[in-house]
Each structure stands twice: as structure tokens, then as C-alpha cells.
Chains A and B, each alone.
Chain A
Amino acid sequence: AQSVTQPDIHITVSEGASLELRCNYSYGATPYLFWYVQSPGQGLQLLLKYFSGDTLVQGIKGFEAEFKRSQSSFNLRKPSVHWSDAAEYFCAVGARKGGGNKLTFGTGTQLKVEL
């Protein structure tokens, strides 16, 4: 069965500092990987996704993520954080054919941005 671990429950960074949110997955083959962001009381917005090809994926709002097969990781990065980035971030892994198109989500990382 697939699983996702986000080891950091809370992260605080200063505005303008760089950010890296960790995500480790468990899956028997090459996975589909996603990062979503959620503002309080809102739905989830897709930041970026990895299906295949280039392991460095660019997303919206200046975010990027790198797929590292050897480390089973898909960490999210941003070079300079803005106060509006404060939110909860979820990593998710999806199964390929036969998996029923189900996503398995991590427990999330809450990002706080200090001004």
C-alpha cells in the first residue's frame, strides 16, 4: 500500500527566507506525486505535480519540487517566502493504472511566516 510521510508538523520561516518542506513516500513503482496548499477553512489548491520526465517540477506561486527516487522523496521548495504563503501544505501520492486513481495524503505541514 502507498503511504506518505511529512515529518514536519509545523515550520516557521521569516519572510524572504528560503523554504523546504519534506515529503517521503512509499510506493512499489514510480508514483504520481502532488503538492497541494490549503488556506484555513478552504479547499485544496494544486501547487504542482510529478508524473514522469524531468525530476525538477515547477509549480504555481514560485514553488518547485524535486523527485528523488533513491531517497523516495518529493520535497517542496521556494527560494523566497512571502507572508501570503502561510498555509497548510499537503503532499500526496497516487497509484498508476489499477490503483483506482486514489490519492494518499500526508498529514500536512503548517507553515507560519514571520514578518
Chain B
Amino acid sequence: DGGITQSPKYLFRKEGQNVTLSCEQNLNHDAMYWYRQDPGQGLRLIYYSQIVNDFQKGDIAEGYSVSREKKESFPLTVTSAQKNPTAFYLCASSIPGDYTADTQYFGPGTRLTVL
């Protein structure tokens, strides 16, 4: 059963701590993405990766870091430098193409709350 899994569903963090959100996909997709969702602001792109061992900053990368050591996995670390990390985080994946639009498929999300 192919899909994208994110864990945990809910995550609580104390101020000053780093925390890592997991994203795994078994769709054999090359590209993976991390978005942040806040009420009334839609989705904003944090980081994306089009191939293993390569990733690019999105629109709001400050305070976040990622790695892409395996095709299936794209973990996101929310560092203590992120000023307002409480949000809903969504991971997505797609098959990128030069001349065909890739469709992004989303995981169920992780809700991070900073206490």
C-alpha cells in the first residue's frame, strides 16, 4: 500500500530544543517537500529536494534544516533558531519532470506545539 507517512502525528517541544519530524514515502518518488501551514496563511514551502543528497531552501527556510540521505526519507529538523515553530507541518512527494508538471502527494501531517 503506497503512500507517505509522517510521524509523530502530535509533537510537543520545550523552547530551546531541537526536534526532528519524520517523513517517509514508498511511492518511489524522486522529489520531496516540506511545508508549514498556519491558520489563514495557506501552505508555505520550507525546503525541497529533487534528488538524493541534494536539497534547496524554500520560502521560509530560516530555523529549519533537512537531510536527504535516502530516496524514501526526508526528515525535517526544527531548530531552536526558529522563532515561532508552533504549526502544522506537511510533507509531500512527487516525480519531477522537465516538461510535464509533477503532482505533489501529501502525508497526513505533524502538529508541532512549543510549550
Contacts and interface: CB of A to CB of B under 8 A. Distances in A.
Interface of A: 9, 32, 34, 36, 41-46, 49, 51, 90, 94, 96-97, 100-103, 105-108
A41 B10 CA distance: 10
Contacts of A44: 43, 90, 92, 106
Contacts of B92: 44
Contacts of B41: 107
B103 A46 contact: yes
Nearest to B4: A43
Given A107-B40, A107-B41, A45 B103 contact: no
Interface residues of B, number: 31
B56 interface: yes
A97 to B, nearest CB: 5
Interface in B29-86: 31, 40-45, 48, 50, 56, 58
Given A34-B103, A102-B45, A107-B41, A97 B98 contact: yes
Given A41-B111, A43-B6, A102-B58, 7 more contacts: A32-B101, A43-B90, A43-B106, A94-B101, A102-B45, A107-B40, A107-B42
Interface of B: 4, 6, 31, 40-45, 48, 50, 56, 58, 88, 90, 92, 94, 96, 98-109, 111
A43 B106 CA distance: 6
20 contacts: A41-B111, A43-B90, A43-B107, A43-B109, A44-B106, A45-B106, A46-B105, A49-B101, A51-B100, A51-B101, A101-B31, A101-B94, A101-B96, A102-B45, A102-B48, A102-B58, A106-B42, A107-B40, A107-B42, A108-B40
